[in-house]
Structure 1
Amino acid sequence: MTKAAEIDIVSVSKIYGQTTAVHSISLKIPAGTYCCLLGPSGCGKTSTLRMIAGHETISTGDVRLGNKVVTDLPPARRGTAMMFQSYALFPHLDLVDNVAFSLKMKGVEKAERRAKAMDMLKLMQLEPYATRRPGQLSGGQQQRVALARALITDPEALLLDEPLSALDPFLKIKMRAELKKLQTSLGISFVHVTHSQEEAMALADLIVIMNDGKIEQAADPRTVFEQPATAFVARFMGDHNVISGKVSEVTPDGIRFDVLGGANFMATGRQAEIGSPVDIAIRTDHVKIGEPSQSGLGFTGIVSNIEYRGSTVKLLVTGAGIEDFTVILDDIDFFAQPIIIGQALPLNWEPSDAIVLGRLDS
């Protein structure tokens, strides 16, 4: 396999008529990284992937692969390979000819391209099925054929557009492990578009969270989860409560702020001007039951819903101007002192658990 190359996206925009799908984003993906572009539908992640691949023209900016600017090169000359969501296999060809197709287009001799295709099928553990056609395979096997066909060109980066979306939940988890293993053994960069937080967390070295054509945060999974950069990231990744309000007091340690319902909370670690809007995030599993140790580090609310989830129990609590505040309790703790819907419940958290979030426009 060729040496992996760094992918450098420099001030790239994509404009369709009056609509800007991608707003001047810049991103460095180090060589040999498993990168997931994550975000809701319409956030610009697939447009970004297709611009890296060359299947979509770039309105402004440049894409560099290694030390080569590839902005104006056709897909076949970029050193990337793309695996499409639909797999796009040829139903009338056997697996060997499906995998060898791009080499046939390049004029590689039949014996050589078939031998290379067999090597790729071996890598994907599909050798016994070499003479079958795609219609005779399971979804997971078809996906491995599509992977083999993309990798036969020895790309410096493999681009994957929602590759697991068509698979059932159990197969998704199995294929996730196979993709990670494959990327590690090949040592090339994988850029993988997904709208699944769980998938991105399980696979990526680098998660790039996109919203409305912009990058909200690009970091390793642990940083994204423990230190979300913005309210959007905290909400989209889940497992965080976001409380929004206006700064009412600046203290030596941080700030105090008021929410619409009249309650006020405190947060440490970042200063802000009085009267300015602020968002804080509190991990759902860091919220405890009991009176807060000091004002601004908790509230009393009414339990509106309870969901049993096996090892944990999820509570929804409303109060102090906050709707649907989520608390995740250990199942042992919950059943030792069961809680019922309609119960008034005091909640608290530690000062270090209230993370002040940034704003993308600030």
Structure 2
Amino acid sequence: MKEALIQQALEEGFDLCRVCRPDAIPLVPDRLGTFLEAGRHGQMDWMERRVEWRGNPASLWPQARSVIMLAESYTPQHDPLHVLQQPDRAAISVYAQNRDYHDLVKKRLKRLARWLIAEAGGEVKVFVDTAPVAEKPLGAAAGLGWQGKHTNLVSRDLGSWFFIGSVFTTLELPVDAPEVDHCGSCTACQDVCPTAAFPAPYQLDARRCISYLTIEHHGPVDEELRGKMGNRIYGCDDCLAVCPWNKFAVEAREIRYNARPELLAPDLEQLVALNDAGFRAFFSGSPIKRIGRDRFVRNVLYAIGNSGMARLRPASQALCDDPDPTVADAARWAVTQLNTQN
């Protein structure tokens, strides 16, 4: 059954399939508690809820006996760091340059789960970043990869560019050996971080992470960090992109992960002019849509302020009295920055 499961997972479009027990991550509760006590989760209050489930998958669904961990590659066809050298353009995280991966991965998980029930019975639950599941530690415990010094999962087979999904089942399946750490003395991911979001190897302070700041953080971003965000307006790929293990990355099989041309390096001036309706239309089917127009335009204005492009000043000035106070604050900051730089 295990061999048949792996084969079916590959046929569904996954690149790796491994299995662990729900109680395979005993160190997570203490590490999560330390992270929360230090306030490193910032405004992500949802991390404080269901802490027991997040720290102990066995309590999430006590009937589960096995956790099937799946990996699906989304390796970019371009250099995601190249756009950082184009200050009048926007840098969007690779995973958000096309369709929302939650929808695509979850459909595959459900198909695989239905196949498993038909073949072997039992009950199942599927998860893809939508429940209090410690996916990265479970992925490491199952042998998908190891959590690197940037805290993300790294695979000897796939590099850094892959999504994770899980199928909890009441079936007893043979487990795989956990992956060991292969980071060695490398510190590339820590060295490249523009905001010094890693206080130590294998530790992340989300409050300084650009992915957190552009996606999860509500309201104005601390002025000390705005200048370090560069032209990154949704997420940040720096620590993933520099990982040496990406030499083993495999091409994404799902074409809907390939970047939409208009999202590879979009013009900041066009993006900042989007109203709510225009924003929703432009990002239909995209994970970017969930942060809303106001937070998105806030990010674009920070990028404009960092651009040094005087021609973008009028676009910023037009939003200095925006109904959203955070957007208005970002616009005034951008104008001030451009006046200083030119």
Which bin holds the TM-score, normalised by the shorter protein?
A: under 0.3
Give 1 or 2: higher helix fraction: 2
What is the TM-score normalised by the length of structure 1?
0.22
- Rg comparison, structure with higher value: 1
